[in-house]
Amino acid sequence: MAEVESIENLVAARMFLKTSLEKSRALASALEKTGPRLQKISQKLPSLEATIRPLYARKCALLAVGGHIDQAVGPAAAVLKVFDAVHGLEKSLSSDPCFDLSGYLSVVKRLEEALKFLAGNCWLGNSVAGGHRGIPGRKCSH
């Protein structure tokens, strides 16, 4: 009886080893097929890196510009508010001052204040018109 169990154990071990050997051969075959594919991928990597490098540089440049854009939005919004205010004065300024001289002078005073604000913050105009790098909050030198 012990011999029968021993033979059965040997047969089972043989089957297990045979199955393991078949799996190892299949795995080796799959690895052989994968090798050339990995080589092709490895050969393509430098060109892919060269393609991605400018995109990454653009992303970095955009991130660097983001802070400048954030700084420009506030002052630009202030200028737009002044423009809207001046545009609102247009009708009053085009009317005849004879009918309401004090109102007309009040409108002219508001227009002068708007012009002073814009003249005092002309860095925005310089940066847009002249292509200079305007510095927010900087007064004009002239």
Predicted confidence pLDDT, tens digits, the chain (142 residues): 788 888 999 999 999 999 999 999 999 998 888 888 889 989 999 998 998 888 888 888 888 888 788 788 888 888 888 888 888 888 888 888 888 888 888 888 988 888 887 777 665 555 444 444 444 444 444 4
What is the residue type of 94?
S
Structure tokens at 3: 């011999």
Residues 6+ apart with CB under 8 A from 117: 78, 82
Task: Answer yes or no: is 135 within a domain.
Answer: no
Q: Is residue 58 part of a domain?
A: yes
**Is 25 a domain residue?**
yes
The answer to the question of residue 60 being in a domain is yes
Residues 6+ apart with CB under 8 A from 49: none
Residue 134 lies in a domain: no
Would you say residue 33 lies in a domain?
A: yes
Domain for residue 99, yes or no?
A: yes
What range does the domain containing 89 cover?
2-129
Is the CA virtual torsion 86, 87, 90, 92 positive or negative? Answer: negative
Number of domains within the chain: 1
34: in domain: yes
d(CA 89, CA 110): 8
pTM over 0.75: no
